[in-house]
């Protein structure tokens, strides 16, 4: 799909396209980490990843940056689903609370992001990362800057 076609999509349309097509032809953090978009709807997204030894910190558990990345992705994409075509966003602030360690042995970590408020200039969202047993690993909030359409 061309850049022009992608920019004509609303945020929800674009996120649903990524979810269904899983495009491998352009670089992305999603591809690098093996993230999947499990659910995408207006104001909400769920992403997951299978842990692996490459995600380890020096103690041998999943590095906190992996959980933070999952949360930033889930919450940011939830915000994106509320935006019209041509309008973007960027993370202004990310606040993460870590609750427990996660193992690096192929366990599934899922992050759910939900929009709390989306205005003209900023949006806020909250998120949670859980393991495959539903145990809370981390939770977060974010503030995103809404970037108006150009042109």
pLDDT attached to residue 52: 96
**SS3 call for 21:** helix
Chain centre distance of CA 58: 25
| φ and ψ of 58, to 5 deg | -65, -15
Question: Contact at 8 Å (CB) between 86 and 13?
Answer: no
DSSP letter assigned to residue 62:
B
Per-residue confidence band for 151, with pLDDT thresholds at 50, 70 and 90: low
The model's pLDDT over 20-65, given as tens digits with 9 standing for 90+, comes to 988 777 668 888 899 999 999 999 999 999 999 999 999 999 999 9
Q: How confident is the model at residue 7, as a pLDDT?
A: 82
Cα 137 to Cα 114: distance, rounded to the nearest angstrom: 17
pLDDT at 101 over 80: yes
Higher pLDDT pick, 149 / 68: 68
pLDDT recorded at residue 26: 67
Q: How far apart are CA 100 and CA 126, in angstroms?
A: 18
123 or 2: which leads in pLDDT? 123
Instruction: Give the pLDDT score at 145.
Output: 98
The alpha-carbon radius of gyration of the chain (Å, integer) is 15
Q: Given this model, what pLDDT does residue 113 score?
A: 98
Q: How far is residue 141's CA from residue 58's CA, in Å, rounded to a whole number?
A: 26
Place of tokens 């495959």: 132
Residues in the chain: 151
Give me the chain's average pLDDT, please.
93
Query: Can you tell me the distance from the alpha carbon of 7 to that of 14, in angstroms, rounded to the nearest whole number?
Result: 8
The residue assigned the tokens 């995408």 is 40
């Amino acid at each position: 799909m061309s850049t022009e076609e992608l920019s004509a999509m609303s945020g929800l349309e674009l996120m649903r396209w990524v979810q269904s097509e899983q495009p491998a032809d352009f670089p992305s953090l999603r591809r690098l980490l093996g993230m999947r978009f499990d659910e995408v709807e207006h104001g909400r997204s769920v992403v997951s990843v299978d842990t692996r030894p490459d995600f380890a910190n020096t103690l041998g558990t999943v590095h906190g940056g992996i959980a933070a990345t999952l949360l930033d992705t889930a919450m940011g994409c939830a915000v994106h689903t509320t935006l019209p075509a041509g309008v973007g966003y960027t993370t202004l602030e990310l606040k993460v609370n870590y609750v427990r360690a996660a193992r690096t042995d192929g366990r599934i970590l899922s992050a759910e992001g939900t929009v709390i408020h989306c205005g003209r200039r900023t949006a806020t969202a909250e998120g949670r990362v859980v393991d495959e047993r539903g145990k809370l690993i981390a939770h977060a909030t974010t503030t995103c800057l809404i970037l108006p359409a150009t042109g």
